Chain A
């Protein structure tokens, strides 16, 4: 038990743990909010300004902030077999989810009367829950920035 606690306390485990918890909370919250939601193509229309919006600027800014966060001191345990296998397993599950999403999207595009496309659902969610949608995109950009700027051999790696 102490061994597990020690592992969780290490900074490299903290970030993925927070991300997993955030994903779990958002998934449950979205499930409660939209369970049984009657989708209709007539979601509130979203308008677009010609200029970049504050939300888009915030997401791009979060990407660069992710790069700055990576400058904070942290320990890295070094590569080991368990970590390698775990990372590959996570990547495999993530890729599997993407494949399922594209399978659904393709069927939805070919059956618009029966299945709403993911892009339509995303726009509906954005129209109904603007703040939470923005938060999810900001966190995603933060993670992408933290990961991309600090890969070994890259600008800050």
Chain B
């Protein structure tokens, strides 16, 4: 199927999405720092040394989830405006020459091809951890 959008538009959309991801990553970092420094009050045991790791690990996952939610909302608006999902690196024909992005794309390709194995490994690791630590 031929994509009606030109390559320039696709690349511009990809760049805008990457910029949003950087802003959201900064939000995640700022949210965690605010929790560590006590600007965000989660509860009285937030600064208890025996609970610190558990509370802030949970807060970290909360901020990650918030970042993903905002990115999903942004993609929802993008789909509504453009009538297509935001382009992935696979739809951009030119392979990046960036020293960071090139190996990252290779990892992405491997993960996409073997995601069932990655998922199975995650499921089995989760089952073992759940069985070991929560006696499930």
Residues of A59-89 at the interface with B, using a CB-CB cut-off of 8 Å, are 59-60, 63-64, 67, 81, 84-85, 88-89
Listed stretches A4-12, A13-21, A24-32, A145-153; interface member: A145-153
Chain A residues, Cβ within 8 Å of B61: 102
Chain A residues, Cβ within 8 Å of B123: 59-60, 63, 141, 144
Cβ-defined contact, B55 with A110, below 8 A: yes
Chain B residues, Cβ within 8 Å of A46: 135-136
Q: Is B66 an interface residue (CB 8 A)?
A: yes
Cβ-defined contact, B58 with A154, below 8 A: no
Cβ-defined contact, B113 with A154, below 8 A: yes
User: How distant is the Cα of A28 from the Cα of B116 in the complex, in angstroms?
Assistant: 32
Chain B residues, Cβ within 8 Å of A102: 58-59, 61-62, 65
User: How distant is the Cα of A95 from the Cα of B84 in the complex, in angstroms?
Assistant: 20
Chain A residues, Cβ within 8 Å of B73: 92
A77-117 contact mask (Cβ, 8 Å, vs B): 1 or 0: 00001001100110110011011011101110111100000
A interface, size bucket? 35 or more
Assess A56 versus B136: contact at CB under 8 Å? Given A92-B72, A106-B58. yes
Q: Is B105 an interface residue (CB 8 A)?
A: no
B67-102 contact mask (Cβ, 8 Å, vs A): 1 or 0: 011001101100110011100000000000000000
Cβ-defined contact, A60 with B124, below 8 A: yes
Cβ-defined contact, B85 with A47, below 8 A: no
B83 to chain A, nearest CB (A): 5
A114-131 contact mask (Cβ, 8 Å, vs B): 1 or 0: 000001000100100000
Q: Summarize B's interface: helix, strand, loop or mixed.
A: helix
Chain A residues, Cβ within 8 Å of B68: 95, 98-99
Q: Summarize A's interface: helix, strand, loop or mixed.
A: helix
Q: Residue of B at shortest CB range from A126?
A: B136
Pick the contact of B112: A60, A67, A154 (CB < 8 A): A154
User: How distant is the Cα of A101 from the Cα of B115 in the complex, in angstroms?
Assistant: 26
Chain A residues, Cβ within 8 Å of B115: 148, 151, 154
Contacts from A to B (Cβ < 8 Å): 46-48, 52-53, 55-56, 59-60, 63-64, 67, 81, 84-85, 88-89, 91-92, 95-96, 98-99, 101-103, 105-107, 109-112, 119, 123, 126, 141, 144-145, 148-149, 151, 153-156
